[in-house]
Chain A
Amino acid sequence: MSETLIISILAASITAGTPILFAALGELIAERSGIMNLGVDGMMLVGAVTGFMITVNTGNPWFGVGMALAAGGLLALIHAYLTVTLRANQVVSGLALTLFGSGLSDYLGKAYVGMRAEHTFGKLPIPGLSDIPIIGPVVFKQDILVYISYVLVAATAFYLYKTRAGLFLRALGENPAAVDSVGINVFRLRYFYVMIGGALAGLGGAYLSLAYAPSWLENMTAGRGWIAVALVIFAIWDPWRALAGSYLFGGVDALGFHLQVIGLPISIFILNMLPYIFTILVLILVLIRKGGRLASPQALGVPYDREER
């Protein structure tokens, strides 16, 4: 295998992994606050279509990105209302939103299928850094959204582990009663984090339609939103592991394309199964190791009901 091929695959891993990374970061944040959002795929789709539509109509991809964030966030607002205020079942609510989001994006994007956006995000090599052998072209010859994703991962990790607000976010998902008892509004915070989760999912979708493809196609996430959900668990709710996992999953994508060239005798389908199998295995391993508890945020999926006091 030639060096160029390796570089090509690695770089493609990052590009393919980035939309998943955005969505996974968002989901990670939401789940840390205690709310499971299975509507990620739907939010990615509305983000993708919104980003594309706005970009085509305004010629400015940054507007597109902005609106994609808003679209994802809005959809997440519905989920937040249902699950936080109305205490509805989080699994089904998320599914409903994926269903709705996919229909909505399809509906809105019908007219835009096959169109080309004039201004999308192209590769932006960082001078100097992109000349480092091997790492350079892989890490630093990406588009600006990828660079943003690097920063975002670091920022999320910093927020979670080093700031007071981050501590409370983590506590929200473990024991909302403890947070409530120090006088913090659990409900408002959860709304906030769930919407951030949706916005980031929207951003992940926008990446697909504005950088990765770039174009709009119905159902263009091809289930990546679900991979993001799996990834959060695989990453055991940690941003850096989510980064690694996204590129791993992206790598599977990238490898798939290059399989014939490499001559690996694995069927592309089996290859694509691996991330899901790994996720299950990781989850089991973590649960065995920590004796059944403490792997996931303890309050995840349980609506907070103050009456219990």
Chain B
Amino acid sequence: MEVTPLIRMSNIVKRFPGVVANDQVNLDLYAGQIHALLGENGSGKSTLMSILSGLYRPTEGNIEILGEEKKIDSPSDALANGIGMVHQHFKLIESFTVAENIALSQTSGSVLISEEEIVEEITRLGKKYGLFVDPRAYVWQLSVGEKQRVEILRMLYNDSKVLILDEPTAVLTPQETRELFSNLRNMADNGCAVVFISHKLNEVEELADQITVLRNGRVTGSIGRSEINQARLIEMMIGRDIITAYEKSEPSDKEPVLVIDNISALNDMNTLGLDGITFKVRAGEIYGIAGVSGNGQRELAEVLAGLRHTLSGSIKFYGEEIAGLSPKGMIGRGISYVPEDRLGMGLVPKLNSCDNVILKEYGSEKFSKGHFLKRDAAIAETQRIVREFDVKMGSIFQPVKMMSGGNLQKLLLGREIASKPKLMIVLYPVRGLDIGAIESVHKLLLQMKENNTAIILVSEELEEIAKLADRVGVIFNGKILGEFPVKEMDTEKIGALMAGIVGNGGAKA
């Protein structure tokens, strides 16, 4: 296997405005090898593979294919060079058949499409690699696992030698995951180089021949199968930062005001997003939820906001069962949701700050009288929020989409805080903000805690959780895998849980 690497990425640097996504990354991919890219969100692994698959162009660095330097300018370029990528969100046309979708990947060829030929080829490939799908089936009829198989078949149909899969097991059942793993092994044995992007340690351990770990855009280590050591991997993934918890008031010993008991819910792909999740929160407590994004955080928030149905389980808020209530119902009970999608959900981009401030409360006595809105009250409140939360903008009458990320978040939080909620669930509050803004937001959250609000803080930054939270729960695959007071927080423990490892060393989640 010690030949010229199929792919060699050298000194790859990728800069976006304000952030270096890949910093001097080197990666070698060999035919016949399953190579895992391990790291958290924001580690740069997806960016790196986006470069390889032609979606982005590197700011610096080059790519060699079998020793020859090549420029990959577009996804079709990549495909022509034998590189294919299966993304988390499939790019299939639902109303087409499997065969038609695969035919779509070839722009040149015969004028006429012979369905028989394509079907034949798909069946042949299916047998060879163990990827069974009915080529004549319509994509909308397929299960998620089958759809993924179609994406893989598409690459194989185009003679891809490098197959990149981005978090492929996120949408699969355990059974489908087993099948996928054996298929991938098959493909590697047939001479392909398989790249497997993941944050799930146990899967990576099981499958990979080589593991490269990325953190903050850099390679923190690359080890072979024989050298696998969980603790080392976790350290490479998350680092050995010493986390100091802030001094903050002791969490009250009162009864929990929010009791989430065994809640299950579907995600947007119609697979299980929440899988019997259970935890409790008290008033005046910040409950931090740590975990790699995509493990059910958003679904949890939407359930609490009334935007998503639950399949089973119960949610008690101040003793009242609230699972299944409408958004209005949740808002009416003092539950506030600060979404990660600020401009897409939390605010209306075209409208100005005043119009956004009254978004949830426009019907209340505070802002309306009879059929009409109290404009002055809205303006006054907006000015107050701007002052108190130090929101910077051109004018409160400008569309909010003109505001910077930090100020948007402050406005959003300011509005939510001004509504004096009893429970707040806030997702990734400081994503994309500068230091100053981060501090302000954190202060605001702590202030709310002092005001006896129960807060669920969902974050990817362990530091942030350590600073703010009283207790931490680690979410993985729609469950809280482990929970403990922040004082007992330990990177190793948390890192393991975030990667799906329960208990000490090796047991599968």
Contacts and interface: CB of A to CB of B under 8 A. Distances in A.
A170 B112 CA distance: 15
A294 interface: yes
Say which size band chain B's interface belongs to: 20 to 34
B95 A167 contact: no
A175 B93 contact: yes
B94 A293 contact: yes
Nearest to A181: B75
B109 A170 contact: no
Interface residues of A, number: 21
A174 B95 contact: yes
User: Dominant SS at the B interface?
Assistant: loop
B112 A174 contact: no
B103 A164 contact: yes
B107 A184 contact: yes
A264 interface: no
Interface string A172-185: 00110111011110
A171 interface: yes
A171 B93 contact: yes
A164 B113 contact: yes
A159 to B, nearest CB: 10
A182 B96 contact: no
B416 to A, nearest CB: 29
A167 B103 contact: yes
Given A170-B96, A177-B91, A298-B95, A182 B113 contact: no
Contact of A181 (B76, B100, B109): B76
A298 B107 contact: no
Contacts of B105: 182
A165 interface: yes
B96 A174 contact: yes
B104 A178 contact: yes
B103 A182 contact: no
A182 B94 contact: no
Contacts of A170: 96, 100
B100 A167 contact: yes
B175 interface: no
A294 to B, nearest CB: 5
Contacts of A177: 91
B104 A182 contact: yes
B111 A174 contact: no
B74 interface: yes
B104 A171 contact: yes
Contact of B74 (A163, A178, A183): A183
Interface in B110-147: 110-113, 140
Interface in A20-40: none
A165 B108 CA distance: 10
A56 B299 CA distance: 69
A298 B106 CA distance: 22
B96 A164 contact: no
A298 B94 contact: yes
Contact of A163 (B79, B100, B111): B111
Given A162-B112, A162-B113, A182-B76, A294 B94 contact: yes
A168 B104 contact: yes
Nearest to B107: A182
A164 B108 CA distance: 9
Contacts of B76: 181-183
Nearest to B77: A183
Given A171-B93, A177-B91, A182-B105, A164 B100 contact: no
A184 B100 CA distance: 17
A175 B100 CA distance: 13
A163 B114 CA distance: 8
A178 B100 CA distance: 13
Nearest to B139: A294
Contacts of B103: 164, 167
Contact of A294 (B79, B92, B110, B140): B140
B111 A181 contact: no
A178 B112 contact: no
Contacts of B79: 182
Nearest to A165: B111
Contact of A178 (B91, B106, B109): B91
A181 B91 contact: yes
A160 B74 CA distance: 27
Contacts of A168: 104, 107
A163 B104 contact: no
A164 B93 contact: no
Most buried by A among B79, B95, B100: B95
Interface of A: 162-165, 167-168, 170-171, 174-175, 177-179, 181-184, 293-294, 298, 309
Given A171-B93, A182-B76, 18 more contacts: A163-B113, A164-B106, A164-B110, A165-B111, A167-B100, A167-B103, A167-B113, A170-B96, A170-B100, A174-B95, A174-B96, A177-B91, A178-B92, A179-B104, A182-B106, A293-B140, A294-B94, A309-B55
23 contacts: A162-B113, A163-B111, A164-B106, A164-B111, A164-B113, A167-B100, A167-B104, A170-B100, A171-B93, A174-B93, A174-B94, A174-B95, A175-B91, A175-B93, A178-B91, A179-B104, A181-B76, A181-B91, A182-B75, A182-B105, A182-B107, A294-B94, A298-B93
